[in-house]
Chain A
């Protein structure tokens, strides 16, 4: 077998450079790139929202309460510059957003921003709990499906979990309500009156995430098992447990974390649905409520907040991947 005939390897050029005396964990070029991409995404979201607003025909009419007089509508139009040419409107829109000057909700005395940000903590709580459950459940089942000693443990849990991949989140929620709230009467059906109310919604969110994680972790582990460095680890005389946890699992985390990043979108969508099923007072159910009430200021604000959350989540995931994967840092 010949040595590789590709060009000069980066290894050669890097090893002649400086050693790792004091350097950032992540190279500034890569970091800058990533932040720029995040900014681009937020800009794109804002632009999409703007296009939607202007596409409705008469934004002033949309933003005004139903019983507004023509003069009041005219006032709104002038105040937000909807009579100006579109590029000017766009700039004003972005500036307004950045400075927080958006109209009030049509159905409460608070501003749209206050309404939206008021519901945000509940969503973060649900999301956090849901992700935790999903990762733990999916990770455990995935790991067991490869390394458990007994065949039953290797094959049954993951098959059961795979079935859940075909059950939409709202159905999982309803079935859980049916079983645990109505039949067994262990848990409340909806609302957020106590910590018990968090359980069913969080489990529902977790079950929407767990199957994909289990499946991906399983395939990542299987791929790493046959890697050469695992053989080297065996040749060192390390115990099986150490090889599995430290080497194989450690190197399998990157694809799984990347998946969570890619799934962030459907995760957020799932949270919107789950909040509606359980009437959990978060950003998602607020969004759906506002859409049905035609409370456009709140809708627009909520969408933008979700978009920002989405971009931040993806950014977080990317940074985590860079931390885990030395090769991608520079």
Chain B
């Protein structure tokens, strides 16, 4: 196979990028899961004699300390937990809601489709963050509410993708042939619909993880999600904003961690969707 050199070089570079993203994501997740074993300090432990140490200054605090003397490295490791937990659960809930509704809507059409469609459109009346602010203001700052709100904002995405796919495939000969051969709707769903839907969901789910993490971080930044002193990247960025001129690392380092997580998720998502268009032959 004689491909031009530039194409091969670009492929290799792409592969390196993908592996780097997978490595980075794994590191962050493992760090979050095993935080008590990995972090050198208790994230809440204050050391008022050692406040605002810059990073790389001492071995004791490799990433420095914040304005209460708390170790930055430990707080960053622990700070991964809220966004990841919220992200994971919100996406799971969104999938549980969106996928079955999408299959039913796409398959049946008619008025169930219209009713669910209206329901999905309600999401289009209030922007997500604003709705979250309203709910959390009225009902209190519970993390479970945050998960619920993000899931309710996100399910239409999966729903629409699944519905569009099922609609397009429903008219295909092989689906009709299967029902002519006596395969029931359950059989058709599992045998013919789901295998095609899963690759699409891989793309929407990774996108959803990114938006969910982003939403949690933004809410915490605004003081509506996780509140201090609990370590959370979003709230850490907010805490450090007043110290930007003197101790920039208090805001910036958690920010970089957040970027690292989001970037690796995005790269992996791109890789999955690229593989689909090359390998997928179903139309």
Chain A residues in the interface with B (C-beta under 8 A): 37, 40-42, 44-45, 48-49, 52-53, 55-56, 62, 162-163, 165-171, 174-175, 177-178, 182, 264-266, 268-269, 272-273, 276-277, 287-288, 291-292, 294, 296, 299-300, 303, 306-307, 310-311, 314
User: Mostly helix, strand, loop or mixed at chain A's interface?
Assistant: helix
- In the complex the two chains form, is A166's CB within 8 Å of B263's CB? yes
**Max chain B CB contacts within 10 Å: which of A52, A269, A314?**
A269
For the complex, give the distance between the alpha carbons of A288 and B220 in Å.
12
- Chain B residues near A264 (CB-CB < 8 A): 127
> Quick one: given A174-B252, A266-B127, are A41 and B121 in contact (CB under 8 Å)?
yes
Q: How many A-B residue pairs have CB under 8 A?
A: 131
- Are A175 and B252 interface neighbours, CB within 8 A? yes
Please, how many residues of chain B have a CB less than 8 angstroms from a CB on the other chain? 42
With beta carbons under 8 angstroms apart, the residue of B133, B135, B255 that contacts A288 is: B133
Task: Select from chain B the residue with minimum beta-carbon distance to A309.
Answer: B127
Quote the shortest CB–CB distance from A237 to chain B (angstroms): 31
Min CB distance, A281 to chain B, in Å? 16
B223–A292 CB distance below 8 A: yes
Q: In the assembled complex, which residues on chain A have CB atoms less than 8 Å from the CB atom of B248?
A: 178, 182
Q: Which residues of B contact A (CB under 8 A)?
A: 118, 121-122, 124-131, 133-139, 210-211, 214, 217-218, 221-224, 234, 237, 241, 244-245, 248, 251-252, 255, 258-259, 262-263, 265-266
Supply 19 further A-B pairs (C-beta < 8 A) apart from A168-B258, A170-B218: A44-B122, A48-B122, A48-B126, A166-B262, A166-B263, A167-B259, A169-B218, A170-B217, A170-B234, A174-B237, A174-B252, A273-B218, A276-B221, A288-B223, A291-B137, A292-B223, A296-B138, A299-B134, A307-B125
Contact indicator B124/A41 (Cβ below 8 Å): yes
CB neighbours of B245 from chain A (8 A): 182
B residues in contact with A277, CB < 8 Å: 241
Given contacts A174-B252, A273-B221, A291-B137, contact A303 B130 (CB under 8 A): yes
Contacts A174-B237, A174-B244, A175-B255 given; does A269 touch B127 at CB 8 Å:
yes
Given known A-B contacts A269-B218, A291-B224, A306-B127, A56 and B139 have beta carbons under 8 A apart: yes
- Given A166-B262, A170-B221, A182-B245, the answer on whether A266 and B128 have CB atoms closer than 8 Å is yes
